[in-house]
Amino acid sequence: MQIVAKGLTYTYDAKSPFAAQALRGVDLTIDEGEFFGIIGHTGSGKSTFVQHLNALIRLTGGSLQVGEFDLADKKCDLRALRRRVGMVFQYPEYQLFAETVEKDVEFGLKNFQKELSDADRASAVAEALETVGLDYESVRGQSPFELSGGQKRRVAIAGVIVTKPEVLILDEPAAGLDPLGKKELMELLHAIHGGWCKTVVVVSHDMDEIAENCTRAAVFEKGKVAMCGAPADIFRRADELAEMGLDVPVTARCARILRERGIDVDTNFTCDDFARKVIALWEKGGEGRAQ
């Protein structure tokens, strides 16, 4: 499903003195098959935008098409949309509620796929838990509240992927995880992307994460898309990003320092490629350059 937003606007508490205009005309197209990143300073409208994609926030201005779903249409089948577009909120573990992990994860299934038999439901829950790296038999009967923070987040993600949405949106999924947890999370997203999950949209504060994982990204600023393109092209514009209060990935910073010294490294912004290029340069230039 392709996602096409045009002139999307949204104001919280529009009719009150506390009105806050969160989106000021977002134009953005995300193609089917992308692993798309959304970056931006706090308050730039990222969460408000992504919550429109499965109609958690109803469209009030502009147009939004998600596959065949026209979100401006009052008769749009939201249940059908939400079955195909899954949303993992920021800190999703705070929304766990059931007595057991199994009951929590199967909640979405019961909601969206009422026709499933008990056996099919159990096997879908098992598959979702295994996908997020948890052992079904050992966690199914546990209270989600007994688990570690990282495990809770996995359970919450399992509760969304259990219906196998073809578009999966995650709002800061790695926030608060340790480096290993972040790495594992990204591996998990890549593992499901390209299988039943065709499109992944991930909101992130971590520029390295965007640089290393995304096909394209959009930079939000003050409720609009300020830049959109391949990470390598976005992160070349370090000065503009700095003005928006945003950093660039470590690889881009290194490339810049090298460029300032007359060493031109073109990098596609994964650490591995970058290291390989620097090593090749060093070998070409002899040992002196390594010092």
Residues that bind Mg ion (CB under 5 A): 47
Question: What does 204 bind: ligand ADP, Mg ion, none (CB cut-off 5 to 8 Å by kind)?
Answer: none
The distance of closest approach from Cβ of residue 102 to ligand ADP in the complex, given in angstroms and rounded to an integer, is 32
Residue 45 contact partner, candidates ligand ADP, Mg ion, none, CB within 5 to 8 A by sort of partner? ligand ADP
Nearest to 151 by CA among 104, 82, 107, 196: 104
For every residue of 11-37, DSSP letters joined together read EETTTSTT-EEEEEEEEEEE-TT-EEE
Q: C-beta of 23: minimal distance to ligand ADP in Å?
A: 8
Helix (H, G, I), strand (E, B) or coil at 7: strand
Chain centroid offset of residue 153 CA: 14
* Distance (Å, whole) CA 49 – CA 62: 12
**With respect to ligand ADP, which residue has the nearer C-beta, 45 or 249?**
45
40, interface contact from Mg ion, ligand ADP, none, CB < 5-8 Å by kind = ligand ADP
**Under 8 Å between Cβ of 45 and 26:** yes
Q: Least distance from C-beta 126 to Mg ion, angstroms?
A: 32
Report in angstroms how near the CB of residue 14 gets to ligand ADP at its nearest: 10
- What residue number has its CB nearest to Mg ion? 47
Nearer to Mg ion, 98 or 177 (CB): 177
Q: Which residues bind ligand ADP (CB under 6 A)?
A: 12-13, 20, 22, 40, 42-48
Residue 193's region, left for phi above 0, alpha for psi from -120 to 50, else beta, is beta
Closest contact distance (angstroms) between CB of 48 and ligand ADP is: 3
The one of ligand ADP, Mg ion, none whose footprint includes residue 62, by CB under 5 to 8 A per kind, is: none
Pick between residue 38 and residue 125 the one whose CB is nearest to ligand ADP. 38
Closer by beta carbon to Mg ion, 47 or else 204? 47
